[in-house]
Amino acid sequence: MKRLIEIRSYKLKAGEAVAFHDAVLHTVMPMLREAMDVVAHGPSAHEPDTYYLVRAYADLADLEAQQAAFYGADAWRQGPRESIVSRIESYLNTVLWLSSEAVEDMRRQNAA
């Protein structure tokens, strides 16, 4: 079975990486893990002010539905949204298909 993988790469504002990671770990990640399949996340190894988030979906419609539900919910909008968004300079999404085995390997190789 194949999965649609979304890789979101964040360019953070200078000096915000530690606070961003802390907010993600303690506030956002528990919410995200309840709502969708988070494969991997964390600071990027190549540049100090970058961060990545990898999520898996059944297809593009599933991605759109899950993200609309999560990002449209009051729990996000009235919760940690501002503490996250205020630290982001820009972000880029890329989607690609991977086998379930490749997704699980990515999960294992990038476990925090």
* Number of domains within the chain: 1
Range of the domain at 41: 2-109
| CATH number of 51's domain | 3.30.70.100
- pLDDT tens-place string over residues 48-106: 899 999 999 999 999 999 999 999 999 999 999 999 999 999 999 999 999 999 999 99
| Residue 4 near residue 60 (C-beta atoms within 8 A) | yes
Q: Give the three-state DSSP class for 36.
A: coil
The confidence score (pLDDT) of residue 111 equals 76
> Any idea what DSSP says for residue 44?
-
